[in-house]
Amino acid sequence: MRQALIIAGPTCSGKSALALALAERLGGTVINADAMQCYRELRVLTARPTPEEEARAPHALYGVLPASVVGSVAWWRAAALEAMEGASLPILCGGTGMYLRALTQGLSALPDVTPAARAEARALLAELGPEALHARLNAEDAALIRPSDSQRIARAHEVWLSTGRSLAHWQRAAPLLPPAPYAFRAILLDPPRAELRAAIAARWQAMLTGGAREEVATLLAQGLDPALPAMRAHGVPELAALLRGEITGDEASRRAIANTGAYTRRQATWFRHQPLMAARHVPFAAPQRAHIINARFASLAQFSESEQAKIFAFLREGVDGAIPPP
C-alpha cells in the first residue's frame, strides 16, 4: 500500500510551512485540503502558498476553482486522488476535516441534484437566511445540521427538492466510496489557544498590508451570490461590509479576528475526535497513525534535532524505506 502524509490542524497553526518543509526534504507533492484555498480569487485572504513557495516543491489543487463554483467534498476527493496518483509522496495539507475524512474513511455516493433544485435552494437561502431555511428541513436533517451552517442547509434542501428524500436518508442508503488505498500518516498541529490567537491577529494585519481589501473589492465586482462558499471565506464578509461603508476598519478587523478564532476552536475540537487524530502513536483498524505536535509550526528549524528526529522516525515507521532518512 502506498504511503501518504496528512498535515492537519486549525487555521493559522503552520500547516503550510510544515508541509513545504517536508515536501522539500522528502521529494513530496503538497496537495491542498483546504476548501477556501481552492478558490483562485482568494490568494491573500486564504494565505495560499506564494508563487515563490510553490516553486520550491510541487503543489496541487491551489487556486483551481473560480469563486462562482461550489467545490463539493466529492469533487475534492476525486481531484485529490488524481493528484495523489501522480505524486511520488502525496502530502495532504489543510484544515477542512470533511475533505480529509472523505479520503481516509470513504464517502457516501449521493445523487446528483437538478439545476432547478440548486437554484431554488440558493434563492431561498438568500431570501430567508439559514435559520429560517433550517426550520423548513425535515426532522432528520435538522437534527444533524447546525442552524448556522448555510452551505449544508442549502445542500440538504436541494437534495430534498431533487429526490423527495432527506440528505440523511441518502447518506445511509447510498453506496460508500471506499477509503483511498493509501497507508496514511498524519501530523496534527494543535498549538495552545493563546499562541494561535496571536498568530491569527498577526496574519490578519499582514493580509491587510498584502492587499486583502483590494482582493475583496475585485471579488465583489463579480456580483456573485453571497451564499457561495468563496463569498463567506474568513475576512470576505467583514471587508465587504467595510467597503459598503457599513462598519469601520477597526470593527472589520475585530470581527474577522474573532470569527476566525471561533472557527479554529471548532476545527481543533473536530480533529481531536477523529479516529486518525485521536491519540499519539496508536494504531487503528486501518493502516493509519497520528503524531500530535502541541505547538505552532514556523519552520523545520524551530524544532530541536531530537524533535525533528521524532517526526521523521514517525513518518518512516512501518513503511519499509518509502520515506528516506532526514
Residues annotated within the binding site for substrate are: 11-16
CA atoms within a 13 Å half-sphere pointing along the CA-CB vector of 101? 14
Binding site residues for ATP, as ranges?
Answer: 9-16
Q: How far apart are CA 233 and CA 142, in angstroms?
A: 24
Residue 27 to residues 30, 42, 56, 307, 311, Cα–Cα distance (Å): 10, 27, 10, 21, 16
* CA 107-113-117 angle, 5° bins: 140
- Amino acid, single-letter form, for residue 142: A
As annotated, the binding site includes 9-16
Rounded Cα gap, residues 293 and 297, in angstroms: 9
Amino acid at 184: F
CB 94 within 8 A of CB 33: yes
Q: What is the chain's Cα-based Rg?
A: 20
Amino acid at site 133: L
